[in-house]
Amino acid sequence: MALHRFTALLPAALLLCAGAAQAANEVRSQYSSDRAACASVPAESRAACVREAGAAAQAARAGQLSSSDTSIYERNALARCEAFKTPHDRSDCEARVRSSATVSGSVEGGGVLREATTPVQ
């Protein structure tokens, strides 16, 4: 009876191990790619870039790096608007996050900039 249970669970266990190995390979591949990208960063920022690549890999291994819920990304972006002291500046920031503002830059270049033009009458 115990042998029957083991053989019934074996395919599921093998799939789980294969999935974990694939995820580990993806984390290693992304880490290597991130480390290679650090070579193009100015020398004074290179150590921080390498630390961030390592932290991202560690978070990915722990399952803390990605989210399929896009609302989490919007909430994080809106939380960054809290840095603005005046209500007007904060609401402008929130409008840039929620709107289809002009987006330029890249994560590799140090950040993404959102620009919105508000006509003054």
pLDDT in single tens digits along all 121 residues of the chain: 455 555 555 455 444 444 556 667 788 888 888 888 888 878 888 888 888 888 888 888 877 766 556 677 788 888 888 999 999 999 888 888 887 667 777 666 677 777 777 788 7
Question: What residue spans define the domains of the chain?
Answer: 2-61, 70-115
67: which residues sit within 8 A by CB, 6+ positions away?
73
Sign of CA dihedral 15, 16, 22, 26: positive
